[in-house]
Amino acid sequence: MHPYAKLAKSAVEEYVRNGLILKVPADISQDMKRRAGVFICLKSGGQLRGCIGTFQPCRNNLYEEIVRNAISASTEDPRFSPVTPRELDDLAYTVDILSEPEKISDLSELNPGKYGIIVSKGSRRGLLLPDLEGVDTVEQQIEITKMKAGIDPLESDIVIHKFLVERYV
């Protein structure tokens, strides 16, 4: 298991078992000091159990971003009830570190296997990670992301940003 996924696992276990949030150690690596958006996805038995993240950094460093988003994925995803202590041993963790989003000018710049997207219209915004099972075309990717954002599926006056992810398990 990659150190980022181990950190997410430790953060969830500490919070679910003891209600405590891991503190940033004084000796974190230089890599953990960087800032980036992070998504944490939890699966149980191959099925999604929670997935929450930030597309822009919201914390002081990557360590805090992973810890807070892992806790949120396990306790605040509105699609699921909070993770219970008895589920902890069955969870698998994915940590996606996002690149800076880049506005696109043409759909030909997209590739759902490579890029995630952010679709926005006014104050509505939705994000979809790349390389998801069942999302094989740009059209599917945009349709799903519009739905997540609450944007009318027929709306064409939208802004799309793409981003890359570093995926760790």
Q: Residue 145 and residue 149: Cα distance in Å, rounded?
A: 6
Q: Residue 117 and residue 141: Cα distance in Å, rounded?
A: 8
Stretch 73-91: mean pLDDT: 97
Q: Does domain 3-98 have CATH number 3.30.700.20?
A: yes
Helix, strand, coil distribution of the chain in percent, nearest 5: 35, 25, 40
Say what the pTM is. 0.91
pLDDT the model gives residue 105: 96
Helices (H), 19-137: 30-33, 62-75
Residues forming CATH 3.30.1490.150 domain(s) in the chain: 102-164
Q: Tokens 């390389």 label which residue?
A: 131
pLDDT the model gives residue 75: 98
Q: Which CATH fold topology does 102-164 show?
A: Dna Ligase; domain 1 (3.30.1490)
Percent of the chain with pLDDT over 90: 99
